[in-house]
Structures are given as C-alpha cells and as structure tokens.
Amino acid sequence: MTKLLLHTIVLTAILGTLSSHRSLAEDVPVNAESARLHAIFDAAWKQSLKDAPTRASRLGMHDYDDLWPDESLAAIEQRHQRDKAVLEQLDGINLSALTPGDRISYQLFRKERENRVAGHGFGGFLLPINQRGGAQDAGNLADSLRFEKSGDYESWLKRMASFPAHVDWTIELMREGVRRRIVHSKVVMKRVPRQVQAQIVDLLRDVQHGEKRFTKWLTQSSN
C-alpha cells in the first residue's frame, strides 16, 4: 500500500507537470509531434481516472462516483499490458522534434511507465491491505466526498452495493499472494484484525443514523 501511495503521489506530480507544460504551450503553435505526445498524455490521464475511480472522486471528478477500482487479477493484467502499449507509443515519438519542456515531460512520463512495467513482476499488487489502509477502512472515502445532491447519495449507494466485489478482489489478491509467497510480515498485519472487527457494527443502528442524516439533508434542501 505504501508503494501504491508513493506511485500515486509521483503520478499526480508528473501529470500535474504535464498539465502545466500544456497550459504554457497553449499560446504557441505546437508541431505534429508535440500534438501526438500530448494526445498520449491526455489518454493516459483519462485512463488513470477510470482505473482509479475513488481517486477521481477525491479529485472532484464525478464520472465514476459509483465505482470501486477493479482490482481483479484480470484487470491488473490488462493495466499492465496497457502500460507496455503506452511505452510502444512513446517509442514512436521523435524527441528531436519536441520543445525542451515537452522533452522533460516525455522523460518523466516514460520513466514512470517503465517503473510500473518493471515493478509489476514483483507482485506488489498482491499486498492490497496493511495496517494503514485497505478494504477494511474503505468507508473513510466518504469523508472526502461531496454529499450535496441526491445524485451524490445515489452514487454512494451504488458504490456500496458493489463493495462485496471489492472485498472479493482483495481476497483473491491475498490468496494469490499466499500462493506466490508474497505476503506482509506479521508486524505489518498485526493491527488489521482489529480494524476489520471495528467494521462489524449494529446494522440497524447505522441504517437509522443514515436515515436521519438523509432526512436532515432533504429538509435543508427543501427550505
């Protein structure tokens, strides 16, 4: 999870840099090679939001507010193949035709993709939970989301309805990790059982609390 967080931070920084370069370049003509490169950047950004819908929600982009990231082994392999395909696209870019800024963006983006492809073989994705996060505290996502419109609640309910599949993917990854002997040390996982236990609560009490919260929101919206 720490490695995933680090990759997320690096990717965000890289894509932020790319967006900055693009905004600075909007006032000057770009050649065909730069246009091809920025098309790769744009496609990668859109795909990253689709692959990480909870992150997209946190960023204020609401196209995938009703989804969890697909962490099945099949989906992970598909993302790996896409990463390799992106590197092949980058191979076709003529660096000498790019502006200095675009060359830097190219190098940063390429390095990030190369690291992802190389890291795939180590199986870090088979460690989906640790003491700092995972399916056992997924509900914390609600703290960073907006709940201003009825659609926000509807999306959250749809997302929660599909949560069992999210848990199944976590179990699938951990079982595969055990099979490959890719597991966390005991000290890392020591707190996780208590974190899971904390999610087993009085269902009726929680439903009643949710109804009160929704009724309060509905009353305020009507005024």
pLDDT digits (tens, 9 = 90+) for 59-81: 999 999 999 999 999 999 999 99
Residue 112: domain span: 2-222
Buried b (16+ CB within 10 A) or exposed e, 125-147: bbbbbbbebbbbebeeeeeebee
* CB-based contact 71:125 (threshold 8 Å): yes
208 CA to centre of own chain: 31
* pLDDT tens track for 19-37: 544 444 443 437 899 999 9
User: CA-to-CA distance for 169 and 175, rounded, in angstroms?
Assistant: 10
As for how many domains the chain has, the answer is: 1
**Token pair for 132:** 């700092």
User: pTM higher than 0.85 for the full model?
Assistant: no
Q: What is the mean pLDDT of residues 168-184?
A: 95
